[in-house]
Amino acid sequence: MTARMLLAILLMALLNLGCSATTSLTAAQGGTALSVKESHSTAAPRTEEYSATSFGNYEFKAASPGFDPLYGVLPLKFNGGYLALDILFFAPAMFFNLREVYPYYEFDMDKRVVRYKKHPSDPWVNYQPSEAESQRAKGHFAGK
């Protein structure tokens, strides 16, 4: 293996490890504050970038006047493209960035769901956090 080839492989591995995705966070009710793990903003609507992950999650807390807070974990999508790049260029990293945020989320406090979709024209998919996810998110935000 030439030094140039080795350098190219290492560069691809480093770039692949730093993968992230941009998402749009909105709320069906005005005045909703959205807190997400690893974010310092609570504004809604907003656009943010989150790192791809395989082992972590993004806990959230949505709070709106007149509603009990909604806690949970953001649903994440599998990214097969990252897996393919990892296998081709740096196999030991193939389990470190397999999931990422969806591009669109909407929090509905009235229905107690998080909606998500991949493309603007796609229909929303409703997701209701499980009790275990809610408790985990409550634990995360209790220390803040």
Residue 65 is assigned to a structural domain of this protein: yes
Q: How many Å apart are CA 22 and CA 103, to the nearest integer?
A: 6
Q: How many Å apart are CA 17 and CA 86, to the nearest integer?
A: 9
- Strand-pairing partners, residue 70, are 62
Residue 15 is assigned to a structural domain of this protein: no
pLDDT in tens, the chain (144 residues): 676 665 555 545 444 445 778 999 999 999 999 999 989 999 999 999 998 777 789 999 999 999 999 999 999 987 755 555 554 555 555 555 677 899 999 999 999 999 999 999 999 999 999 999 999 999 999 975
Domain count, the chain: 1
SS (H, E, C) 43-75: CCCEEEEEECECCCCCEEEEECCCCCCEEEECC
Residue 57 is assigned to a structural domain of this protein: yes
**Tokens 């991949």 sit at which residue?**
118
- Strand-pairing partners, residue 73, are 59
Residue 56 is assigned to a structural domain of this protein: yes
Domain holding 136, by residue range, is 22-76+97-142
